[in-house]
Chain A
Amino acid sequence: MSGEATAGAVERGEAANGTAGSGSAGSGANEHGAAVNGTAASDAAANGAAGPDPVESGEPWRRLHPSGLKVTALYMAGVMTAAGVPVAFGIGSGAGLLIALAFAVPGALLVIGATVGYEAIRLRVTRYRVTDTRVEMHTGVLFKTRRSLMRERIRSVDLTANPLERVFGLAKVKVGTGETGSGSGSTNEQTLTLDSVARAEADRLRAELLRRAAAGIGEDGEQRLATWEPGWLKYAPLSFLTPMLAGAAVGAAFQVADWFGRGGLPVEIVGGLVEEHGAWTVLGLGLIVLLVLGAVASLALQGEAWWRHRLDREPGGTLRVRRGLLVSRSLSLEEERIRGIEIVEPIGIRSAGAGRLDVVAIGLKTDQEGSDLSTLVPAAPLPAVTAAAEAVVGPVGCELRTHPKAARTRRLRWAAVTVAALAAAAAVPHLQWPLPALLSAAIVLAAVLGSAFAVWTAFDSYASLGHALTARHLVSRRGSTRRATVHLDRSGIIGWRLSQSVFQKRMGLMTLDATTAAGKGHYAVIDADEHEILDFADAAVPDLLRPFLVTSPE
């Protein structure tokens, strides 16, 4: 045990010397690295509060699974093949195949060897253990880092396994505490990732780390809250991924052409097609082909991500989302940390009467666009989404109060500004230069469509606005292209932010922001009546706003 303690002390010294340590301590210690290492023992004493309790260091250290090396080797071989073949062709087209291979093969082997070597060292030096109070991990090839999480703070355990890892029976374990460096600007969420351990060990860790409250409840008390149906995949082509992936396909075509030294080829091909078939045909068909490509890619991506998705409530108050066709993912989330849910209806899937269910939970970042970590149920028919929402947080049905007509006027004014700007943007080139008929038509068409969309959005986003209080939740709905209805736990509201611009003041409108520790940090009721919203906030969280309110009769 004393040997263990000494090793720990030395590592702590080096940790303070590295960059991965806690910000200020690391930067301060950098110039005095030798001194810190020399006095590792005293440094360990100084860090004692965060270090392992000597009483518990009887718990043995465990290592990552050695098969991780094979996964890395195979993965790098794949990457090098994917990257090397175009490069080899690129060189080969100019200098002959043999010379190309003479460059590409040793280069690839060198990269693979270096990566595998690094990984072998990383696997050797990484150790972890679960004591009664903490989860600890020591790692680092160049810079030693040691991370130690309080077990009682652990809020989520996330298991993932890509196809290679599944072949070798491995899984990555990500342990999250949901702490975000309490407000002072730093957002280094306290997480610990074990990359990777045996599947059985991953399941054991997950069960052990979230066990605490489960004592006394039967092991098989699992309750199914939602099950994904393959039919829901029909919503995938309607998501924003479709146009995004179509755009990516165009970019990829240029990239590949560039690899072969023919960067202008796609333009030439399109030019040839226009000569042959006429511009409108090419434009129309091209768009259709691209959208179909995007839809297929979106279908594949979403199918992979959500295949066999199911949402369970496990004994001990944990929600568990399991999903994935090739990469299997499992997210366990402590219900104690849930502060509400958000039903999100992006315009595409809304047009098909569908939406998705996101969770508003402490320690799950939801503001990163494209992150599906906080999604409990993907695009599904609204009744199914509502049912899942009720299973998670209780009744969600309620009548929303509409917002004053002035809110619509405000949105129409924004639309008017947009239309004016689009009209100007379309008119200027026509006045400046003589334009070919096709380009002119395209510009006018784009401006007209853009204007129509702006006006429609104004009406639609006003129709979306609404707010209400239920027994447990503050409900707010807003947005047009991304309509979202948040049900925020009233006890999870930890402050108010009210704002009113001069324009809002003239129209008698006000925006209420409920701040919370969960999700994106604040959820807004925008452009509500300036008097009514204060009564609303006062009713939502009793006694918080009351001392600052004055009421005068009509």
Chain B
Amino acid sequence: MTASRTALRPPQNRFDPRTVPWWRVQLLVATAVPVVPLAVLGLLIEPARPWLLGPAALILVLGLASALALPAWWHRVHRWEVTDTAVYTLTGYFWRTWRIAPMSRIQTVDTTQGPLQRSFSLSTVVVTTASSAGAVKLEGLDQDEASALAERLTELTDATPGDAT
């Protein structure tokens, strides 16, 4: 057993390319939330100007840089795959996590779509098992693909007897 070099192969599919602009907008919004109030206050309150505009500029630079670089990288790193027997995902780079949920243990399949996702025609599919730690999220699938996938998963899990615990 020690002689073998077993490794995990990455899941086959990348997420939809539209996840890149979606993540980018999310990061920009997250940047704007602290930057805009700081900047407005900085312009209004003269004595405290350097203390407000300084952090605002720093956060702005960091936010813009990450919005520019991270989404494209995430798109290369995050992957997913659904076989007839399991749902398989890989997320993260510095802390990589592979999740495997067997089809026979899936309890619910949810499709969700936030307002921002809707504008990019993206959806999230959440697959939960009976374990509080077992949920697998597929964030950023094309909305039609997502509903087709959810339908297929529901069909496959309905065909499995038992209470999946």
C-alpha gap A420/B120 in the complex (Å): 49
Give how many B residues have a beta carbon under 8 Å from the other chain's beta carbons. 40
CB of B30 within 8 A of chain A?
no
Instruction: Tell me the smallest distance from the CB of A181 to a CB of chain B, in Å.
Output: 10
CB-CB < 8 A to B81: which residues of A? 548
Closest CB in chain A relative to B149 CB, distance in Å: 18
Nearest opposing residue in chain B for A537, CB measure: B100
CA of A520 to CA of B165, assembled, Å: 14
Q: Which residues of the partner chain A approach B88 to less than 8 Å between Cβ atoms?
A: 548
Residues of B within 8 A of A55 (CB): none
On B, residues with C-beta under 8 Å from A are 1-9, 11, 81, 83, 85-86, 88, 93-102, 105, 107-108, 110, 128-136, 164-165
Look across to chain B and name the residue whose beta carbon is closest to the beta carbon of A505.
B96
Q: Is the CB of A497 within 8 A of B98?
A: yes
B129 engages A494 (CB within 8 Å): yes
Rounded to whole Å, the gap between the CB of B12 and the closest CB of chain A is: 10
Residues of B near A534 (CB, < 8 A) are 6-8
Of the listed stretches A64-72, A86-94, A538-546, chain B binds A538-546
Q: Which of A10-47 contact B (CB under 8 A)?
A: none
Contact B94 A502 (CB under 8 A): yes
Among B5, B6, B99, the most chain A Cβ lie within 10 Å of the Cβ of B6
> In the bound complex, do residue B6 and residue A183 qualify as a contact, i.e. CB atoms below 8 Å apart?
no
| A548 near B100: Cβ-Cβ < 8 Å | yes
Q: Is the CB of B5 within 8 A of A521?
A: no
Between-chain CB contacts (< 8 Å), 25 pairs:
A180-B132, A182-B130, A183-B131, A183-B135, A494-B134, A495-B99, A495-B131, A497-B98, A497-B133, A498-B8, A499-B95, A499-B96, A515-B131, A515-B133, A515-B134, A521-B133, A521-B134, A522-B133, A531-B4, A544-B100, A549-B9, A550-B7, A551-B4, A551-B6, A554-B3
Q: Decide: B83 and A547 in contact? CB cutoff 8 A.
A: yes
Q: Do A183 and B3 form a contact, CB below 8 Å, given A534-B8, A543-B85, A547-B86?
A: no
Residues of A within 8 A of B108 (CB): 182-184
A516 adjacent to chain B (CB < 8 Å): yes
- Known interface pairs A495-B102, A547-B83; A554-B5 also in contact (CB < 8 Å): yes
Q: Check A184 against B110 for contact (C-beta < 8 Å).
A: yes
Q: Point out the residues of chain B lying under 8 angstroms from A498, CB to CB.
A: 8, 97-100
Please give the distance in Å from B126's CB to the nearest CB on chain A: 8
Contact pattern, A 268-303, Cβ under 8 Å of B = 1, otherwise 0? 000000000000000000000000000000000000
- CB neighbours (8 Å) of B99 from chain A are 495-498
Asked if B85 and A515 make an inter-chain contact with CB atoms under 8 angstroms apart, the answer reads: no
B110 touching A531 by the CB < 8 A rule?
A: no
> Which residues in B have their C-beta under 8 angstroms from that of A551?
4-7
A379 contacts B by Cβ under 8 Å = no
Q: A552 to chain B: which residues have CB within 8 Å?
A: 5, 7
Taking beta carbons and an 8 Å cutoff, which residues of A are in contact with B? 180, 182-184, 187, 362, 492, 494-502, 505, 513, 515-518, 520-522, 529-532, 534-535, 538, 541, 543-545, 547-554
CB neighbours (8 Å) of A500 from chain B are 95-96
Smallest CB separation, B162 vs chain A (Å): 11
**Which residues of chain B have C-beta atoms less than 8 A from A521's C-beta?**
131-134
The 5 A-B pairs at the shortest CB distance, nearest first, are namely A183-B128, A517-B130, A521-B132, A522-B133, A494-B105
Chain A residues, CB < 8 A from B133: 497, 513, 515, 521-522
A184-B108, A547-B86 known; A494-B164 Cβ under 8 A: yes
CA distance A518 to B132 in the complex (A): 9
Q: A183-B107, A495-B102, A544-B100 are in contact. Are A516 and B5 (CB under 8 A)?
A: no
Complexed CA–CA distance, A413 and B117 (Å): 43
Contact partners of A492 in chain B: CB under 8 A: 165
A541 proximity list for chain B (CB < 8 A): 102
* Contact call A548/B134, Cβ cutoff below 8 A: no
Chain A residues contacting B130 (CB-CB under 8 Å) are 182-183, 362, 494, 517
Q: Which residue on B lies nearest to A539, using beta carbons?
A: B1
Q: How far is the CA of A492 from the CA of B105 in the complex (A)?
A: 10
Do B2 and A532 have beta carbons less than 8 Å apart? yes
Q: Point out the residues of chain B lying under 8 angstroms from A517, CB to CB.
A: 129-131, 164-165
Within 8 Å by CB of B100, from A180, A495, A520, lies A495
Shortest CB distance A99–B (Å)? 53
- Inter-chain contact B105/A495, CB cutoff 8 Å: yes
